[in-house]
Amino acid sequence: MRYSHRALYFILIVALLLIEKIDLVAQVISVSPIPQRIDVPRDGALVVEFAAAIDPATVNSNSFLAFGRWSGVMDGSFSFENGNQRIRFQPAREFSAGEYVTVNLSSDIAFADGTPLTHGYTWNFWAKADPGSLELQEIARIPVRQPGEGHIQTYGAFAGDLNEDGYSDYSVPNELANDVRVFLNDGQGGYSSFTAFPLPGGSVPSTNEGADFNRDGHIDFVVGNIGNSLATVYLGDGNGGFLSITSYTAGQSIRGITVLDAEGDGDIDIVSANYSANNLALLLNNGSGVFGSAQSFESGGNGERAVAAADVNEDGIGDLIVGVFNSNELLMLLGDGSGGYALSDRISVGGSPWMLAIGDINGDGTLDVASANSSNNSASAAFTDGQGNFINAVSYSSGGTFPLAIDLGDLDGDGDLDLLVSNFGNFGSNNGRWRCYENDGDGNFINPADYPA
């Protein structure tokens, strides 16, 4: 069979395009630990296998960043194997027990021929927790008010190690006091005093998260303010204080906030869920912890109240899960690696999502989502297929009224994620409570236990 020169030329062009497409998709062949693994040794190496040799000169602590949610930026050493197709990162210390770890490879990493790592690459895993009991005991109550101070409405806390002494500190937003109060751990698990960092009146600080925004190796902190449409960024000094506190306009009534590298450039960006504005906003980081003007975009829902970030379709690009309050739904938005997001799927959870937590709940290696649903006093587990779709959602009683906070973690150290829900209770009452569920290993939550708040 003979082909014309034109036909052969066409076949060659198509083949080259296919090769280019394969290169873009398969630049990273595998990573270890595998994404979403629950029981990773706390001092274990991080290994990335590439499709071709990379340039070792482009690999450093800025282009290869491992961040523990509580322990912060992980220092370590790099080695190169398999003809420079494999990077091995050996942490210099242990991650905190049971913490969620995010690894970001930036597009600054280049192959030997100069081709960049297109869109970077991201994945998450959990550091192994020690065996423990789900029979929780209250050991202390930490005062968060000044002597004689009235109601300040503390909302949530971030437990990052701000002074880098190996112990978790607490950064606590207070909605009515309009400040963030930092409690430094004394090394014995005590938090006897705090420093208050004020915000403008009417801010109503609430949702919060930590990251290293300016690439200096220290934990930074962002809080979303309900009252004035601002996201406030605290750049940490590594000693328990802050180098600067700067606010950026994000969107009306910020109720949810998350952090991720939206463009693959190694800079950690911010996404806010703006309930009254009915949208999301992306604030891009210039690499030094300074953020540009908010880029608002629609999620496909109405009343965005919660947002979380992770790779849900296993392409190495950060995606978004959005809790939509007015329609009782979770939405899945896939990232394109350039700061754009497109709706992929949606699922009803039966109640109004107030807060989200993410992780592999049923142990199948794919990301799942837990939501606190305030309108029907429930908590839901929504399962995904790893391809950008939801499979199903299962709801459980929150054990109280007005659940507004939720988290996942391996509380008993058995290698699966247990569930903890916080119920605010009725306004003006003192009937708030926590509910803890044990994971049976297959993603079913059993043996509920309640604790007074």
pLDDT tens readout for residues 288-344:
999 999 999 999 999 999 999 999 999 999 999 999 999 999 999 999 999 999 999
Q: Measured between alpha carbons, how far is 187 from 284 in angstroms, rounded to an integer?
A: 36
Span 365-384, mean pLDDT? 98
- For residue 453, the model assigns a pLDDT of 82
Could you tell me the CATH number of the domain that includes residue 109?
Answer: 2.60.40.1220
Greatest alpha-carbon pair distance for the chain in Å reads: 93
Question: 3-state class of 244 per DSSP?
Answer: strand
In-domain check, residue 116: yes
Amino acid at 400: G
Q: What is the pLDDT of residues 254-297, one digit of tens each?
A: 999 999 999 999 999 999 999 999 999 999 999 999 999 999 99
Does residue 37 lie within any of the structural domains? yes
Q: Which pLDDT belongs to residue 23?
A: 47
pTM above 0.75, yes or no: yes
Residue 361 CA to residue 441 CA, distance in Å, equals 8
The answer to whether position 376 is within a domain reads no
pLDDT of 3 reads: 41
Q: What mean pLDDT is predicted for residues 412-431?
A: 87
Task: Look at the alpha carbons of 86, 90, 95, 98 in this order and tell me if their dihedral is positive or negative.
Answer: positive
* β-bridge partners, 393: 382
Q: Determine the average pLDDT of the residues in 198-221.
A: 97
What pLDDT does 428 receive? 56
Tokens 């395009």 belong to residue: 17
- Cβ atoms of 385 and 392 closer than 8 Å: no
Q: Distance between CA 439 and CA 448 in Å, rounded?
A: 10
- Are 303 and 277 in contact by the 8 Å Cβ rule? The answer is no
Residue type, 98: G
Q: Which class for 397: exposed (0-12), middle (13-18), buried (19 or more C-beta within 10 A)?
A: middle
Lowest mean pLDDT among 9-13, 110-114, 418-422, 428-432: 9-13
Residue 329 in domain = no
Q: How many distinct structural domains can be found in the chain?
A: 1
Query: Is position 55 within any domain?
Result: yes
95 found inside a domain: yes
pLDDT for the residue numbered 266: 97
pLDDT at 350: 96
Within 8 A by CB and 6+ apart from 168, the residues are 70, 96, 159, 160, 161, 185
Residue 277 covered by a domain: no
Q: Is residue 52 part of a domain?
A: yes
Q: Calculate mean pLDDT across residues 116-129.
A: 98
**Token pair recorded at residue 27:** 């630049």
Instruction: For 351-370, write each residue's pLDDT tens digit.
Output: 999 999 999 999 999 999 99
Domain ranges, residue 9: 5-126
Question: At 430, is the pLDDT very low, low, confident or very high (cuts 50, 70, 90)?
Answer: low
The torsion angle over the Cα atoms of residues 271, 276, 279 and 280, rounded to 10 degrees, is 0
